[in-house]
Amino acid sequence: MELAVPPLFEALAGARSILVAGAGGGFDVYAGLPLALALRAQGRTVHLGNLSFAALEVLDLDTWPAPGVALVTARTEGLEDYFPERTLARWLRRQREPDIVYAFPRTGVRPLREAYAALADQLRLDAVVLVDGGTDILMRGDEAGLGTPTEDMTSLVAVAGLAVPTKLVTCLGFGIDAYHGVRHTQVLENLAALDRDGAYLGALSIPSASREAALYRDAVAHAQAATPLRPSIVNGQIAAATRGEFGDVRFTTRTGGSTLFVNPLMAVYFSCTVDGLAGRLLYRDRIEDTVAMEQVLARIERFRAGITPRVPRAYPH
């Protein structure tokens, strides 16, 4: 590795067909947009996907190119009130970008892995990049708080079992998961452990004046207008950070009871390998054979009931 080449891009140097997929559902895929747009500008074929919170079962049968994978475009019908994948597809179409977003239903590890494998074969993927809006995908299981791990860890373990040459994780939105109990000294501790293992791919800031940052902010604003009752709190904070805003920034009434701490670290990608991260997950073996996401949640809770969480350190400065 060289300082002049970001390790995240170096790890993807040989990949021509790349899937950038939101790991945790909702609007997570939006956190991958700056990376996806930068890779497309390099001439790569970049596909977008997302673990979906939408009621995908109501979509027409011809929407499903493979079991467990819905192909969503700007013209996909149904689900008028909340459908982040179609909202993104409509924004992409406005930008004259390919307007396909693949959506995965909320399942357990086994069916999600099968869906990813089918899509990897169809698209001849060289690489999969899982994206987390926040950093709770970096939790190994014994931290003081795990955030909302169910969807993230289902995606992580599913992708860890794929026969794809390059599998990475990147997180955008450092600090956001404090709302859900994540102690970010433990995030940093986990990143240091990944670095010792050779699995950490460093931190990469999104320049506020970059084309990718401007397009990302536009996409987030478009999504907020399209889903005014359920705008993404995560991406709203990240977008504010890419504008250089700081502190208790207001962009939705959904955060009315909270004090936000928007800051430059929210606009930094923290990246690692899937294999390195999944290899440190303390309950991985417990969720490998799950078929429903409710099983994943129950097994995480059972694991947590049997351990003593690590005591987090306080920031010394």
Q: What is the CATH number of the domain that holds 134?
A: 3.40.50
Q: What are the structure tokens assigned to 27, written together?
A: 């609007």
Specify whether the CB–CB gap between 156 and 277 falls below 8 A: yes
Length of the chain: 317
CA angle 96, 101, 114 (to 5 degrees): 150
Q: Rounded to whole angstroms, how far apart are CA atoms 200 and 51?
A: 24
CA distances from 224 to 1, 103, 209 (A): 39, 20, 21
Q: Is residue 2 one of the residues assigned to a domain?
A: no
Q: Rounded to whole angstroms, how far apart are CA atoms 206 and 34?
A: 8
What are the phi and psi torsion angles at 258 (to 5°)? -120, 155
Look at residue 258 and tell me whether its pLDDT is greater than 90: no
Domain extent at residue 288: 7-213+266-305
Look at residue 253 and tell me whether its pLDDT is greater than 90: no
Specify whether the CB–CB gap between 152 and 159 falls below 8 A: no
Q: Is residue 223 one of the residues assigned to a domain?
A: no
pLDDT confidence of 254, banded at 50, 70, 90? confident
Highest mean pLDDT among 182-196, 224-238, 249-263: 182-196
pLDDT confidence of 255, banded at 50, 70, 90? confident
Q: Rounded to whole angstroms, how far apart are CA atoms 134 and 150?
A: 14
Look at residue 15 and tell me whether its pLDDT is greater than 90: yes
Q: Is residue 120 one of the residues assigned to a domain?
A: yes
For residue range 45-54, what is the model confidence (pLDDT) as tens digits? 999 999 999 9
DSSP secondary structure letters along 95-149 = TTS---EEEE-S--HHHHHHHHHHHHHHHT-SEEEEEEESSGGG--S-SS---SH
Assign 67 to helix, strand or coil: coil
For residue range 66-103, what is the model confidence (pLDDT) as tens digits? 999 999 999 999 888 899 999 999 999 999 999 999 99
Per the prediction, the chain carries an average pLDDT of 96
Q: What is the pLDDT of residue 235?
A: 96
Q: Is residue 257 one of the residues assigned to a domain?
A: no
Q: Is residue 261 one of the residues assigned to a domain?
A: no
Count how many domains the chain has: 1
Residue 27's contacts (CB-CB under 8 Å, 6 or more residues apart) are 84, 133, 223, 232, 234, 235
Q: Which of 122, 156, 121, 126 is nearest to 138 (CA)?
A: 156
Q: Is residue 280 one of the residues assigned to a domain?
A: yes
pLDDT confidence of 229, banded at 50, 70, 90? confident
CA distances from 109 to 105, 115, 181, 218 (A): 11, 10, 25, 33
Q: Rounded to whole angstroms, how far apart are CA atoms 112 and 292?
A: 9
Q: Is residue 253 one of the residues assigned to a domain?
A: no
Q: Which alpha helices (DSSP H) does the chain contain, by range? A: 7-11, 33-41, 84-94, 109-123, 149-160, 184-196, 211-226, 233-242, 274-279, 284-287, 293-305
